[in-house]
Structure 1
C-alpha cells in the first residue's frame, strides 16, 4: 500500500522508524534531565476546541 493511501485510510503505522541516535546533538543537551512544562489552563481555554474535535493522542509510552 502506498504511503498516501495509508494516510488517507488513517493507518497509524509508522512508515519509517528511526533509531534513537543522538550522535549529532551536543552532549550539553543530551545529558540534561528532561523537565515537564506545565500547561497554562487559561491559554487552553482561549483556543477554539472545535479545531481538535475527533482528534486524540496517546504517547507511545502508553501503547502496548
Structure 2
C-alpha cells in the first residue's frame, strides 16, 4: 500500500511539472487521468497491480544487494 501512495504522489508531481512547463496540455492530462480511472476499474487491474508489485519487489531487492 505504501508503494501505491508514493507512486500516486510521484505521478501527480510529474504531471504537475509537465503541465506547468506546458509539455503536457491540459486536455492530454485529463485524457490520461480518465484512462487511468477506467483502467483501474477494468479486468486488467489485477494483472497491472501484480506487475507493479513484482517490479517494486525487484527494485527493492536490487537495492538491498548493493547495500
TM-score bracket for the superposition, by shorter chain length: under 0.3
Structure number with greater CO (CA < 8 Å, separation at least 6) is: 2
Query: What is the TM-score of this pair, normalised by structure 1?
Result: 0.25
Q: TM-score, normalised on structure 2?
A: 0.24
